[in-house]
Amino acid sequence: MSITFSPEALALQAKAREIAEKYVRPKAAESDRERAYNHEAMKACGQAGLLASWIPKEYGGSGVGVLSLCMIVEELAKADSGFGVAFAVNALGSFPLLVGGTEEQKKRFLPRVAKGEALISFCLSEKFAGSDAGGMKVRAIEDGDGYRIYGEKKWNTGGPVSDLYTVFAVTDPESKSRRISAFMVEKGTEGLEIHKVEPSMGIRGVPVSETHFKGAWVPKENLLGGKPGHGFKHAMATLDLARPGVAGQAVGAAQGALDYATAYACRRQQFGQPISGFQMVQQLLADMATQTEAARWLVYRAASLADARDPAVTKISAMCKCFATDTAMKVATDAVQIFGGYGFMEDYPIAKFFRDAKILQIYEGTNQIQRMVIARNLIKEALGLTHLEEYIPTETQVDYLPETNPA
Ligand code: CAA
């Protein structure tokens, strides 16, 4: 399959780079220190059409696709990984509409996201349902022409600044495969409350909250797809499309750390020469660059499969999320090493890259879950490899025990 960089995608990437240097990088340290959301940069993204990139034209977007989303997120995350996810959660929150919404729902909600009028987030995880997303407890109970939602969602990234929430809740506790449904919930709905804003280790510029539902009523028109019971599949299909975006954030974070480390290695003098002249530093830089480049191309491949809605996307999407985020953590760690004692100090930009990298290996499915998804899909594919059987010898063993026990 081919990976095509359309002129529209390249133009949006250039715009993202411009916004990153003008609005994101200069505010990265302050946003981290003050735990302040960069509204100015997000507004600029909206005005430049970046939030429209993954939304089809018929729903007010530009229809450039997931590949374009990844290229944009990479540019933003290079300057500030936290801003990268502040942007990417809007894709995560709106993909359920794309994969499962009715025409009316897509037309009602997506243009607002595309224009940057509404920020959207994704409420799946709960205190006792993280990796086991299907084990959620938040309930939605039919009430008149709608549903009332009860319970608490956890780790709602971007929750406190959202205008729209995609919320997954149990509608049929007795069912095995049709337990869960998804709902669109608007900010201001009575009973929707933002609670504890998490004191996170990194990505501090984007608020992550507990979002509580105390009998929040939503009309049936907001039940995704119009029929209950499809929420878990919508969540899984959403994650297939969204994981390349997180992986794009990881590539940006890795590239950003590498760029700082390379610039610093060229400047920092020890033993009478820049440390970039030492082979051990060069080895670190060479590996960091190679791993980042490899991750980038895996992201592009997964994003292209996502755009083609190719069924192979589940496995490759998990691969790119896992590989790119492990790479970001390793590259950020090595970048701190290159900065040495200064790398450990908060007045240098690299400590933030290190703190920001860790969450990448955890959210949108831990890297242990990604490996499980990859292996499950490999095993499923192996069932189609029966023709290899004849090349794999089958061992036999003869049992020499006497027929009757002499003792
Ligand atoms: N697409 C469509 N359907 C899928 C699917 C996919 N990729 N994967 C599974 N399904 C379907 C299965 O076919 C199955 O359907 P049937 O019941 O009809 O057979 C159903 O879903 C259940 O599938 P599994 O038996 O595989 O489900 P499971 O309970 O074993 O769990 C899992 C699978 C992969 C572990 C899943 O729970 C998972 O992805 N967990 C991680 C959760 C996660 O990523 N959370 C991230 C939260 S978002 C976030 O972090 C964002 C942020 O803050 C920025």
- Tell me if 121-228 shares its fold with 233-384: no
180 lines ligand 1 (CB under 6 A): no
Written as one letter, the residue type at 298 is L
pLDDT digits (tens, 9 = 90+) for 211-242: 999 999 999 999 999 999 999 999 999 999 99
Q: Ligand 1 center to residue 405 CA distance, Å?
A: 53
What is the value of pTM for the model shown?
0.95
Mean pLDDT of 136-153: 98
Please, which pLDDT band fits residue 405 given cuts at 50, 70 and 90? low
Q: CA-CA distance, 273 to 174, in Å (whole number)?
A: 70
Please, which pLDDT band fits residue 385 given cuts at 50, 70 and 90? confident
pLDDT digits (tens, 9 = 90+) for 5-52: 999 999 999 999 999 999 999 999 999 999 999 999 999 999 999 999
Give strand pairing partners of 146: 143, 219
Residue 252 CB contacts under 8 Å (≥ 6 apart), including other chains:
73, 74, 75, 76, 77, 78, 79, 81, 84
| Assigned superfamily of 233-384 | Butyryl-CoA Dehydrogenase, subunit A, domain 3 (1.20.140.10)
Q: CA-CA distance, 304 to 382, in Å (whole number)?
A: 24
**337 class by beta-carbon count within 10 Å (0-12 exposed, 13-18 middle, 19+ buried):** middle
For residue 120, the Cα-to-chain-centroid distance in whole angstroms is: 14
Q: If you average pLDDT over every residue of the chain, what do you get?
A: 97
365 lines ligand 1 (CB under 6 A): yes
Class of domain 7-119: mainly alpha
Residue 59 has pLDDT above 80, yes or no: yes
Structural domain boundaries in the chain: 7-119, 121-228, 233-384
Residue 248 has pLDDT above 80, yes or no: yes
Residue 190 has pLDDT above 80, yes or no: yes
Q: Ligand 1 center to residue 234 CA distance, Å?
A: 9
Closest CA to 17 of 74, 62, 67: 74
Closest CA to 86 of 23, 178, 7, 170: 23
Mean pLDDT of 361-372: 98
Contact 338, 281 (CB under 8 A): yes
Question: What secondary structure letter does DSSP report for 60?
Answer: T
Domain 121-228, what fold? Butyryl-CoA Dehydrogenase, subunit A; domain 2 (2.40.110)
Q: Ligand 1 center to residue 139 CA distance, Å?
A: 18
Radius of gyration of the chain (CA): 24
